[in-house]
Structure 1
Amino acid sequence: MCITLIKVVRRVVKHTNKQAMAKRQSSDFAKFKESLKTAKEIVILSGAGISAESGIPTFRGAGGYWRKYQASSLATPEAFRSSPSLVWEFYHYRREVAKQAQPNAGHIAIANFEKKYGEEKRVTVITQNVDGLHARAGTKNLIELHGNLFKTRCTKCKEILVNTDSPICAALANRGAPDANVVGSDIPVKSLPHCRKTNCNGLLRPHIIWFGESLEPAVLELAGKYIFISF
């Protein structure tokens, strides 16, 4: 009798808590919709989660490995200085994955929202992602905090250019597969992507903000400006 009564009470409490949570969530969502309707400045922040549905690896947690390397260990200036060919193989793989991926419903919904309300509201998307899917979905007012896989930066003259070549250079064709049995990279540095400017020929690197590097001041200032305005 007592045990049965306790079970019944627990079920009632659990059901009541669920109802209260559902009611609170419904109320919160209603408030959110009203705020969204009246707001003139809207900032949307996105991270790796929105692109995971498109098949873009997040390289987080226990599964954050490419070959035998933890992905974060290759996303550093030190790794590039030590083995630019290995880092370029990793980023060639990421470029090819991103190139084949398609914007998902989340990317499209954000782009459609900007398109629909762009004349009456200022909608800004600030993303940590480097895959370019927001832009491909149609988002116009976009700030990419960490750079873009399809941009390069010259290590010598510092020029930044869009580059969607596949492969980005002949030596990287059919390279970069995440095969755990492959160790290192034997591509000569001279065969890696280089600046095409006359009298430069500097080694190119992915235009990505790596661990240990600061965000570009202009990009950070712009993002801060929109976030401040939205409040």
Structure 2
Amino acid sequence: MKKQITILTGAGVSAESGINTFRDADGLWEGRDVMEVASPQGFYNNPELVLDFYNQRRRQLPLVKPNKAHLALVDLEKNYHVEIITQNVDDLHERAGSTRVLHLHGELLKVRSTGNESDVKTWHDDLILGDFCDKGHQLRPHIVWFGEEVPLLQRAVEITAQSDILIIIGTSMQVYPAAGLVNYVSPETPIYFIDPKPAVQERDFENLTIMAKTAVNGVPDLVLRLMSDHNHN
């Protein structure tokens, strides 16, 4: 049995590929108030604005590439059972080659029916008013907006609870749901936290190692260490 490494990733992993993030700047995302473009009320008030916002994000995806952090995580699959739980809505983990990726906050390359949230489709083009599901309901971005349930959270809890090693990359330990998931690993599980400005200290958790580096600098270093540990055991 391979040991399981669970990896929680946030905006800091994608930022170095050139994908802008909204956590960094006063609740603005690409110059927009987050609640205008990432809440059910925002969609109700101005659906065209919201659809256009995600169309621009979707168009950006083919222009960016996975970075060294995404690529290094793929190497871990040679020696470990790797589960990635990401808050990111891009497809960079998949394009790098990771085989098990759970998107807590939805995916830019999917849309769903406003009449049936389990009716989800892959979508690469612009999404406009008048794009309907088979039952005649408007399609919307398959993104978990503020105030909405996180449908995959229970699955993420189950995965995290089985971790032999937990790695947290580019997400502050202050933000739900990643902050909550940490509580589901057993106390003896080693936790590695890679972030250039860590918001926690090693004494906050048992077995916590903090690497105050960016994702592209910290992740390859940690992966080398874990691969070496595996080979020595």
- TM superposition score normalised by structure 1: 0.65
- Quote the Cα distance in structure 2 between the aligned partners of 1:162 and 1:153: 9
| Aligned match for 2:82, one of 101, 117, 123 | 123
| Aligned match for 1:161, one of 121, 127, 136 | 121
Greater helix share, structure number: 1
Query: Runs in 1 of length 4+ with deviation above 4 angstroms?
Result: none
**Segment of structure 1 superposing worse, 149-158 or 203-212:** 149-158
Find the residue that maps to 2:112 and give its secondary structure.
strand
Task: Please provide the CA RMSD for this pair.
Answer: 2.0
Q: State the shift of 1:60 in Å.
A: 2.5
- Quote the Cα distance in structure 1 between the aligned partners of 2:30 and 2:5: 40
| Aligned match for 1:141, one of 84, 100, 107 | 100
| Aligned match for 2:59, one of 96, 107, 112 | 96
- Corresponding letter in the other structure for 1:221: Q
Question: Paired residue for 1:25?
Answer: none
- Quote the Cα distance in structure 1 between the aligned partners of 2:90 and 2:34: 15
Greater strand share, structure number: 2
Q: Does 1:201 align with 2:136?
A: yes
- Quote the Cα distance in structure 2 between the aligned partners of 1:67 and 1:46: 20
After superposition, residues 1-231 of structure 1 pair within 5 angstroms as: 40-62=3-25, 65=28, 69-114=32-77, 116-117=78-79, 121-158=80-117, 159-165=119-125, 167-168=126-127, 189-190=129-130, 193-195=131-133, 197=134, 200-216=135-151, 219-230=152-163, 231=186
CA change 1:54–1:207 in 2 (3 A) is same
Q: Is the 8 A contact 1:56 1:101 kept in 2?
A: yes
The gaps in structure 1 that reach 5 residues or longer are 1-37, 170-188
Q: Is the 8 A contact 1:125 1:141 kept in 2?
A: yes
- Quote the Cα distance in structure 2 between the aligned partners of 1:201 and 1:58: 33
Q: Is the 8 A contact 1:126 1:142 kept in 2?
A: yes
Count how many residue pairs are aligned between Structure 1 and Structure 2.
163
**Segment of structure 1 superposing worse, 105-114 or 46-55:** 105-114
Q: State the shift of 1:112 in Å.
A: 2.3
- Bigger-Rg structure (1/2): 1
Q: Is the 8 A contact 2:51 2:127 kept in 1?
A: no
The gaps in structure 2 that reach 5 residues or longer are 164-185, 187-233
Q: Is the 8 A contact 1:58 1:64 kept in 2?
A: no
Q: State the shift of 1:62 in Å.
A: 3.1
- Quote the Cα distance in structure 1 between the aligned partners of 2:30 and 2:108: 19
Identity %, equivalent residues: 42
- Corresponding letter in the other structure for 2:138: L
- Quote the Cα distance in structure 1 between the aligned partners of 2:75 and 2:124: 25
- TM superposition score normalised by structure 2: 0.65
